[in-house]
Structure 1
């Protein structure tokens, strides 16, 4: 199995255009990632968080994410949904996706066959990356 990551993507004011959905489907179709869980949530003005059904987010009359309908590995639970709701603003929605990085499976397999073990992994926040690149450019 490849490394598993998650994303919480906020849609301020519930503005979902659907523009990213074809790209997500393409990543799956090309075998780069596998969607393990995909949930959409809404945070009301009073702070209540509810789960939304996969639907026609861009208003074109078609289910945009029908291909992911029912994607549920059991990794995402009510506590995770509440935590995701805690990081988004009121009157906003968010997509919560847990995905496996399939691109890494052959690489990790080769390393393990050679006796290596993955002992740490992490993610550099994009704001930190931009700041580091700007500091390098300034120097």
Structure 2
């Protein structure tokens, strides 16, 4: 198994934006990631937190089916992610396996190693020209 990550993708309104959802879900179709779990979280204008399963949305219907799905996102995760949202916005909460890294992870484990950490570097910290160094 490759590295697994919990990702929160926020949208500025209480409704998902279809083109953005299609682009993110396109990664699944290319085989770059395996979608393990997902929830839509909304922080309403009044501050209430709502959670909905993917099948409640036409554009997400059927994405979480099959034997690879595991319900890993719990109520605490939803509340924590909603704390990152502004009122009147929503987010896709995703648990994905990075399939592109699976071969390397298998080789590391076969050599007696293990993945012990991972840090996501914010996009504003990575220069457009990697040869320029970290900002």
TM-score band, normalised by the shorter chain? 0.7 to 0.9
**Counterpart Cα distance in 2 of 1:44 and 1:105:** 38
Corresponding residue pairs, total: 130
Structure 1: which 4+ aligned runs deviate by more than 6 Å?
Answer: none
Match of 1:78 in 2: 75
TM-score by length of 1: 0.77
Between structure 1 and structure 2, the one with the greater Rg is 1
1:41–1:94 contact (8 Å) kept in structure 2:
yes
In the alignment, structure 2 segments of 5+ residues that lack a partner are none
Partner in structure 1 of residue 39 of structure 2: 39
Question: Residues 100-115 of structure 1 correspond to what in structure 2 (within 5 A)?
Answer: 100-115=97-112
Give the aligned partner of residue 94 of structure 2: 97
Q: Deviations over 1:21-58 (max 9, x none)?
A: 3333332222211111111111112211011343686x
Query: Please, which runs of 5 or more residues in structure 1 have no aligned partner?
Result: 58-62
Counterpart CA distance in 2 for 1:26 and 1:85 is: 25
Q: CA-atom RMSD, angstroms?
A: 2.7
TM-score normalised over the length of structure 2: 0.79
